[in-house]
Amino acid sequence: MAKRIIITASGGGHTGYALALAQRLRGRIEIVFVIPEGDRWTKEKVEKYGRVVQVKKARGPRDPLFKAIPGLVKAFAQSLFKIPGNFQTIVCTGSNHSVPPGYAAKFKGMKVVSIESSVRFTSPSRSIKTLSKISDLLALQWPEQKEFFPQGVVVGPLYELPEYKPKNEGYVLVTGGTYGHRLLFEAVDKLEVEKVVLQTGRIDPRPFRERHPGWTVFDFDPDFGKWLAGASVVVTHFGKTAIDAALTYRKPVVLVPNPEWRLTASLEDAKILARKLNAVLVEEISPSKIKEAIKEAIFREPPTHPDGAAKLVDLILKLNK
């Protein structure tokens, strides 16, 4: 069995996949994480599980594709220099950030494990389509993904282990992920809701904090699980937070896709994920629609799905015997 493994933690939900694996690998194997340059939020989340190296992330979800080219060149050069050569396996959790480390590791003789996103149902992500060409194991989170990756292995959704006991502290948790969700926040800003916890990501939290002194407002908290654990309902973007809310902490979910994101999954993908999580999907972002969705979601029971992270960990360890 390999004693060491590299995992890319590429920000947002991709870091969540890395954490889900790290939680189940802790104490069993040494982990090195490859994170985006300057991403202090990811660093604070993963550093308790292993060593961290940083490689440039070529583009964010709002950036046009052409902007990625110079960044990818730099990221490939950094990866060849920074990726340790004395490891057997790299696990690529997705996003363009995972591609250069994955190819650098393959060049150095490692096995490559790639993970398709949990929000992809109708078409593959560009990064995993690229990495699939060199992958020794391609992990899929839903059966629908076999349509475009027939060589993949369906393990189930990757969700984090609970760090707190779920309870209902009576607040609505609103989050737009790492990059934030301005349209969602502006709609919630107009609601007459007394108890709100708002995580803004890279959007300035100060205006919301000033207008709502009774709310809890912050940009980032590495201990985000405590907020999920105490929520009565979670209002979030189309991403992994919705999965952790429903499957890790058994919370009702309102799913609000962000139309500002480019080259991400489609509305049809969002509809499918909402059905998988028994979540309420909001297609038209407005205060009234958000309010109606919160009222409806509270009465919905979260579903149960297999522990994809545990199954994938077993496959990774078997791959390295």
pLDDT tens, residue by residue, 23-58: 999 988 999 999 999 999 999 999 999 999 999 987
pLDDT tens, residue by residue, 235-276: 999 889 999 999 999 999 999 999 887 546 688 999 999 999
pLDDT of residue 265: 64
* Band of residue 119 on the pLDDT scale cut at 50, 70, 90: very high
Q: How far apart are CA 205 and CA 174, in angstroms?
A: 12
CATH class of 4-157+307-319: alpha beta
Averaged pLDDT score across all residues of the chain: 93
Let me know how long the chain is. Answer: 321
Using CB atoms within 10 Å of the CB of residue 85, give its burial: 0 to 12 exposed, 13 to 18 middle, 19+ buried. exposed
How do the domains of the chain map onto residue ranges? 4-157+307-319, 171-297
The pTM of this model reads 0.92
pLDDT of residue 63: 59
Fold match flag (4-157+307-319 vs 171-297)? yes
CA distances for 179 relative to 79, 120, 171, 202, 261, angstroms: 25, 19, 22, 5, 10
In CATH, the number for domain 171-297 is 3.40.50.2000
> What is the phi/psi pair of residue 53, to 5°?
-125, 155
pLDDT of residue 280: 98
Of all residues in the chain, the percent with pLDDT exceeding 90 is 83
Q: Are strands 171-175 and 196-199 parallel, antiparallel or unpaired?
A: parallel
pLDDT tens, residue by residue, 283-321: 999 999 999 999 999 999 999 999 999 999 999 998 877
Q: Going by C-beta distance under 8 Å and a sequence separation of 6 or more, which residues neighbour residue 99?
A: 72, 75, 92, 127, 130, 131
Q: Going by C-beta distance under 8 Å and a sequence separation of 6 or more, which residues neighbour residue 155?
A: 139, 140, 141, 306, 308, 309, 311, 312, 315
Cβ atoms of residues 176 and 154 within 8 Å: no
- State the average pLDDT over residues 153-169: 97
Cβ atoms of residues 302 and 277 within 8 Å: yes
Has residue 61 got a pLDDT over 90? Answer: no
